Structure 1
Amino acid sequence: MLSRPRRNRHSATIRGLIRETELLPSHLVQPIFLMPDPNARLPVQSLPGTFRLGIEEVVIEVGECIKLGIHSFIMFPAVPEEHKNKTGTYATSHENFYLHAATRLKKEYPDICLVSDVALDPYSSDGHDGVVINGKIDNDETLLLLDAMSVAQAKAGFDIIGPSDMMDGRIGSIRRALDEEGFTDVAIMSYCAKFASAFYGPFRDALDSAPRLLEDVPTDKKSYQMDPANRREALREAALDAAEGADYLMVKPAINYLDIIRDLHQAHPLPVAAYHVSGECAMLLAAAERGWLDYEAAATEALLSIKRAGADVIITYFAKDYASWWKSGRV
């Protein structure tokens, strides 16, 4: 008997009936770049359509996203140079605009899920995720600072703490610090497989968080972010973080690491998050601007591929656009 799979493709209704992968706005997390000026709205030139926003603009942006079905947000601070030093002390300062913004957002929209960023690089005069001592990133000295940063963020109202630093042992250390302060319900989204990728450029432009060209400071993050050539190492990192108390396991970047997403999805019962990073999005946007790709079709396909690989949660700069297409019934 001749098999004809096309019988299940000849109408949109039938295709929808057997569609294997469904991507909803509720699966997406919208990134937010926060500025200290409350009314700021500055474009990120290397990531068209993305802005660095002050809290008043963020309140409006979050409200628009909620109307489209997006209720989860990850926020990153663009810290002025005068607030940066070698140990990132502004991260826990009572004056930190990032912490005040989180409190404001949770007051305005109590039901949103707000994810933090835990690493020194936004606050460090060296531009690294950890403390630089004698030309090296000191792992254990960094943990103490990450613990304090995580507790400060939990107090500010963040629902999920997002350690992006890739220091060894930081999940267990942060979990203990949160629990000791009574934040047992605050979750941890571990960047367990964060690769030393070439695709972070627009993000670093937005936050001015690239390593600095200074004497006795490493010029890249390869001593703590993972080698893009490695696959089994990601499974080991995920296993360690899961054992230490992680609530989510994240892969970053996403499109170039779909195999890692699949590996973690198959190996662990924890939810898997994927960060569809700035460079991955910027490439598609640049091609679409030149008419080489259809933005809506290509962005939808990219996001579906991440979901199909096994990601439960997708952080993407396309979240708001995709949600609008979904709401209008176009995807």
Structure 2
Amino acid sequence: MMHKGHPEIRYLLTGVGIGLLITLLAAPVLLLLLNPMPVPLQPAPSAPVAASNDRTPTPVLAGGLPLELTAPARVRNEPPPSFPAPAQDVVATWVAEGRLDFRGPLDEERQILLYQASLHYIAPTPAESRRVGERINGSGYGSPDLICGPLALAILQDIGLVTYELIPHDFWLLNPFDATGTELLRRAFPPAFFEQVIIPTRIDQVNWQETPLLPGDFVYLRAGVGGNFDHMLTVNRVDSGGSAYAVTNYGTPNGFVIDEVLLYDPFDPGQGMFYVWTERPNALLGSTGFDGLLLWRAKERR
């Protein structure tokens, strides 16, 4: 049988037990309060980004074709191209046939090279002419109706008469009367080595027997009243009859092409492109030369 304990002792033991139980239950809460668990921070909502409307538009050519994003032209600072020298019998044939007549400041070797170099640019269809234009001027910049200046310069660069440090594209739509054009022409044709000649007479009225063009002449035709374009070309040869020729671009019913053309025959007025271009004002296929021409010519045999 069990003995009944003292009531005060029982109450004391009960209180101690309850206290221990409360302590055990409260301990985790106290630890959490004293050492709170880190709560990851939520990133602040970012401000909405406005859609950009400043995209650079892709350049396009006429007709909506994309323009290739390349440099407009190369710097022609590489050595001049090497053309295989024509056989002596070929040159002899050219001379015997009267195709080449050596005259003017350029020596015979350079006149042969000039003629040969110019023939590499002949492109008798508009599509071929555009490809040749881009070969000179850079992809997307070979329009055969505007290639006259770069083409005329490239021919002279190919024979070493003009520095290769010039960029053909800079002669695209060259204006010889503004500051930029004047400086470019001075660099291409330094006054120490080239002379400038001004012929103010309408080109179909010049006496070409007295004032002939010579191989290597860089010619700038002035449109004048009645003309609808200025034009540049290099005289690539003169034949035994004194007729002057150039490989240049010109308009045809099918479009612009690059080919060798007769400029004039001094003994047969009316023959050659100088008469075609002045036949009537503002012709659909082009009119120029009503205000004469400027030309740059080497001063001595080179």
Fold in common (TM above 0.5): no
TM-score, normalization by structure 1: 0.23
Structure with bigger helix share is: 1
